[in-house]
Amino acid sequence: MKRWCLALCLALAPPGAAPAEEEAERLGDAARGAEIFGQCSGCHEIGPGARHRIGPHLNEIFGRRAGALEAFPYSKGMNRAFADGLVWDYARLDAYLENPRALVSGTRMSFRGLKDAQDRHDVLAYLRDFTASPRDIPEAAPTALPREVDLPPEVLAIIGDADYGEYLASECLTCHRQDGSDAGIPSITRWPVEDFVVAMHAYKRKLRPHPVMQMMAGRLSDEEIAALAAYFEKLE
C-alpha cells in the first residue's frame, strides 16, 4: 500500500518539487513510523480507499484544515478548532500526537499520546507519504524545528497558589462561566491540573489558534498558569 502511494506521489509531484521520499527521510523513518502507526490503525485508515472509521481517514492530512472532512461527525472540540482555523502543519500534528487534548480540548481521540519525539517524527514521516501535494507544506517547514508542547517536569510540578489563582481567575470569568456552562465559550472548570497547564502553554506558544486566548495566556508566567489550574480544578 505504501509503495503504491509513493509511486502516486511521485507521479503527481510538480516538476522541481522535492520528491516526497526525500522530505520523509528528513522527517524521520517512515518504515518505523508504519510500525508505530499500528497503535492508530484501530481507529484510522490511511492509503488508497481509506474510509472513515472511529476516526477520520488520514490521507492528505498535511496542510488540511482540522475538522474539515465531509461525512465525519467531529467532536464539538474539533469543530471549534475548525472554526478557529487550526491547520494540520507539522508542528501542530506533532503537538496533537503528543497529547491530543492539549491541542484540541474535548476531542474524541482518546489516545494518551506519543511521548517520545522520535516516535512522533517517524509516524509523521509515514503520514507524510500519504499527502500528495507538497505545495501545501511551507518551504522548509518539514525540517523546521517543531514547537515543543513538551513541558519540563519542573513546570508541571509547580504547586499552584490557589488564592492567587482565584484573583487571576476573575479575569477568565468575564467570559467563561463559573457554573461550567459551555455555550459559545468552552467550560474551564474541573479540568485535571495537567490538562489545564498543558492547554494554557499551548496557547501561550500559539500552537492553539484562538487570538484572545493566545493573548491571555501569553502574559501568564508558569506560576500563574499553575495557580489558575489549581483554582479551576476545585471550582464547583
Binding-site member from 7, 31, 83, 159 for another protein (CB under 8 A): 83
Rounded Cα distance between 177 and 185, Å, is 8
Whole-number minimum distance, CB 178 to another protein, in Å?
Answer: 7
3-state helix, strand, coil in the chain (%, to 5): 50, 0, 50
Residue 73 lies near another protein (rule: CB under 8 A): no
Residue 38 lies near another protein (rule: CB under 8 A): no
Whole-number minimum distance, CB 180 to another protein, in Å?
Answer: 11
Whole-number minimum distance, CB 42 to another protein, in Å?
Answer: 30
Task: State the residue for C-alpha cell 471550582.
Answer: 235
Whole-number minimum distance, CB 80 to another protein, in Å?
Answer: 7
| Nearer of residues 97 and 217 to another protein, judged by Cβ | 217
Find the binding residues for another protein in span 169-228 (CB under 8 A).
170-171, 173-179, 181-185, 211-212, 214-216, 218-219
- Phi, psi dihedrals of residue 44, rounded to the nearest 5°: -120, 135
Q: How many CA atoms lie within 13 A of 124 on its CB side?
A: 28
- Please report, as a single letter, which amino acid is at residue 157: A
Rounded-to-10 torsion of CA 73, 177, 235, 82: 30
| Nearer of residues 36 and 162 to another protein, judged by Cβ | 162
Rounded Cα distance between 2 and 20, Å, is 12
Residue 110 lies near another protein (rule: CB under 8 A): no
